[in-house]
Amino acid sequence: MAKSNHDLILKVSCPDSPGLVSKIANYIASYNANVVEFNQFADAVNGKFFARLEIDTSKASVPASKLEEGFAVLAESINAQWHFRQFPHKTKTSLLVTKTSHCLNDLIWRAQSGELPIEITSVIGNRHHCQQVVERAGLTFHHIDFEEQPKEEAFRQVQEILTAEEVNLVVLARFMQIMPAWLCEAYAGKMINIHHSFLPAFIGANPYRQAYNRGVKIIGSTCHYVTSDLDAGPIIEQQVSRVQHFHDVQDLTRMGRDCERAALAQGIRYHVYDRTIIDGNRAIVFAD
């Protein structure tokens, strides 16, 4: 977690080569800024390098903006993709829901208590089931009917809200609709889903019934980025619970909901603190 109002977080991904850690650290030090956390991963199989740095600029010789601008020269020399974020920062977030409210309630509490640095701009629902929960928390609820109009038009309305509220993160908090490819692309790397199963097993509907019928010994949930491939985006976080022979479908559902809340909150935390780097169909996660 960032240590001061001047902190920067830097994420870097590039082809692996000798001396990358030294080059990046020396650049930061050359401006009298201090690296307070440096996580790096060299993927020997694919020849890639990933890093995340937390930087204290309170005693730096240049403003943080100049330090960011100058890094472009180094980044070009190592053929890097890179991103700076200043902290403290609250990510504008919209929650999409359908019927169940356990993940919604949890995220509202975490946001309002300051546990997660997100600003919930509004909650969008394709049913009215969660409206009372949302309004009781002092938040705006948008109902969009997906049954009385073409789904394409309904999703266009969702997009209008997200655009108007300048949303930077879309969270599908048990939103039981398949997202269209164009919306997935518009929010690539900025849309997170919680799937009530330990993916890649039991994709689609009724995973707890599927799991019960298979006699699984572990039940779980998966937080992942959304892509146009159903339930197949890069995985950020997973949680599991042990299943006993006497547990029925209702028990698995109860245990699974606990996993869902934990996995979704942790996945969002990793994302908003820039602890994830998407690499193809996987996410590199620098856990805290």
Q: Which residues are catalytic?
A: 231
**Of 134, 98, 92, 135, the residue nearest 116 (C-alpha):** 92
- Strand order across the 169-172 sheet: 141-143, 118-125, 91-97, 169-172, 191-195, 218-225, 235-242
Q: What is the dihedral of CA 109, 113, 115, 119, to 10 degrees?
A: 80
Q: d(Cα 208, Cα 243) in Å, to the nearest integer?
A: 12
Q: d(Cα 127, Cα 165) in Å, to the nearest integer?
A: 21
H/E segment holding residue 261: helix 249-272
228 half-sphere exposure, CB direction, 13 A CA radius: 6
Q: d(Cα 222, Cα 34) in Å, to the nearest integer?
A: 36
- Amino acid identity of residue 29, one-letter, is A
**Of 223, 228, 273, the residue nearest 115 (C-alpha):** 273
Q: What is the dihedral of CA 276, 280, 281, 286, to 10 degrees?
A: -20
Distances (CA, A) of 145 to 117, 125, 164, 225: 30, 8, 19, 25
